[in-house]
Amino acid sequence: MKPNFTKFFLLFISLILCMITCKTPVNTNVQKKTGNSWIEELTIGKLQQGYKEGKYTIEDVVKVYLDRINEIDKNGPRLNSIIEINPDALKIAEELDKEAAAGKPRGPMYGVPVILKDNIDTHDRMPTTAGATALKNSFPKADSYVAKKLREAGAIIIAKSNLSEWANFRSKMSSSGWSGVGGQTRNPYVLDRNPCGSSSGSGVAVSANLCMVAIGTETNGSIVCPSNNNGIVGIKPTVGLISRSGIVPVSFTQDTPGPMGRTVEDVAITLGALTGIDSSDTKTYASQGKYYTDYTKFLKKDGLHGKRIGLSKKSMGFSDKVDTLMNKTVAFLKANGAEVVDIDFPKGLNYEDPSFQVLLYEFKDGLNKYLAGPGSDSPVRDIKELIEFNKSDSVELRYFDQGILEQAEQKGDLNSAEYKKALATMTKATREDGIDKVMNTYKLDAIMAPTGSPAWKTDLLLGDHFVGGSSSLAAISGYPAITVPMGFIDDLPVGVTFFGRAWNESILIEIAYNYEQGTKNRKAPKYSISD
């Protein structure tokens, strides 16, 4: 039989076209995930049930996660989400197993492997770097409040995650997820896409099932944006609900740590384990009588019933495809007992530039105190020394400048009239004239908006290419927000954010849980490459 050359030619052409246009897995071994696939998408509840039934030990679980970090993060797709693995993780797991055998398991996070963003201090054999080369050998002399609370609750801190260096407060033109210590973090859905930041590694590690939950930090968007880009749930709490002591600071007014997980239930469990009053962080005093140690009571499958939710049209319009998903989300909310009304924020609210000025002042003040503090092991003792260090380093200024560091260094102290005016302006605009006024006017339980766009391609030459987002009002006001997966555009996830009044995490969890349970939009990543 003569070969059909026309058929062979057409087959060859189709294969070439597929190579050019298709998103293809880069590592078939990762796709098979043999040996440890049972851990994927496991929740805290199911994990702890497995402990009780004797299906596995804590040491078994930690080994699986460490194997996955080596297979997926360090090799395979090379996600670069992890800066440091805890060398004592297995030893800690063994000790917790002994406690369980003795009938003395610890609290609500018992046996839960957690990863911390590497601007959160841990007093162990892992440094806290904030992604900066200057701090790569800086070992804090005490646990942060967050690390302490996690250990008390029975969690195991198995690693520290990569981040946008200095929590993305170093250069206006930079790539989210890049740091001098960790390099560029990659999006697990499509590897040349960006994970967003600054809690980049935390978002990626959770999405890729390298841990059960992770802790991120946010000043403006740094929890909700990486949650959006990596298809997970993230809570940005009210500032003061969780202590910031022992966290490399950007802003005393806006900074907060928060949990990031694959389900609303997991982040609710984690949130309750982290709350409390800390004398080292005066912001937490305002949470007295307003926080819960157990937010799982708000996981209501009818949590949407009777809720009145404002749709922020101002946050839409940057993408027709995102708008389509938002409209679908609105229809679901209405079908499940919520009332959704279009809202408008007052025109001329002035908060973006005042917020940036506040950040410059507070960054200088807070970082200088952190670097020179008694708990610090930093070789640089203030921003001025840091700037000089970076100038002589071969990595730090390779891609991006340090313009924000230099701007902050030029600012005065917190007694400056410019600082006080900017703080008052942004606070009034986002609270009294912003969220509070709108919620009072429209009689709302919450406000909703798209969290952001699908992930953009990572660009180390020109930096990030943000298209849309809705983090600023909640971030600058210090009010809570939660983002939940809303769906996919091609292979890339996007989320919806619900935000509202201070200390109303409970209401947001009710809304988000009902929405999540009714839609099940979360899908695990496949580590493909762009067309």
Q: Give, for 514, the enclosing helix (H) or strand (E).
A: helix 505-519
Two tokens at 277? 């009053």
- Strand 178-179 to strand 339-343: parallel, antiparallel, or no bridges (unpaired)? unpaired
DSSP bridge partners of 481: 236, 499
Catalytic residue among 117, 160, 283, 364: 117
Two tokens at 420? 């006080």
Q: What's the burial of 246, exposed, middle or buried (CB within 10 Å: 0-12/13-18/19+)?
A: buried
Q: Cα separation of 481 and 467, whole Å?
A: 20
Which residues, including other chains, have CB under 8 Å from residue 429's CB and lie 6 or more apart? Answer: 349, 350, 351, 354
CA dist 20 to 15, 17, 23, 26, Å? Answer: 9, 5, 9, 14
One-letter amino acid for residue 162 of the chain: N
Q: Cα separation of 14 and 8, whole Å?
A: 10
Two tokens at 54? 């004797």
Q: Cα separation of 312 and 288, whole Å?
A: 31
Catalytic residue among 144, 171, 175, 198: 198
Q: Cα separation of 259 and 299, whole Å?
A: 16
Catalytic residue among 175, 222, 227, 319: 222
Task: Give the CA angle between residues 46, 48, 52 to the nearest 5°.
Answer: 110
What 3 state SS string does 24-41 have? CECCHHHHHCCCCHHHCC
Which residues, including other chains, have CB under 8 Å from residue 226's CB and lie 6 or more apart? Answer: 176, 195, 196, 197, 198, 199, 200, 202, 203, 204, 216, 234, 260
Position of tokens 């009571």? 297
Position of tokens 């937010």? 295
Is there a catalytic annotation at residue 280? no
Is there a catalytic annotation at residue 243? no
Position of tokens 């959770």? 206
Coil, helix or strand at residue 256: strand
Q: Cα separation of 298 and 304, whole Å?
A: 11
Q: Length of the chain, please? A: 531
Active site residues: 117, 198, 222
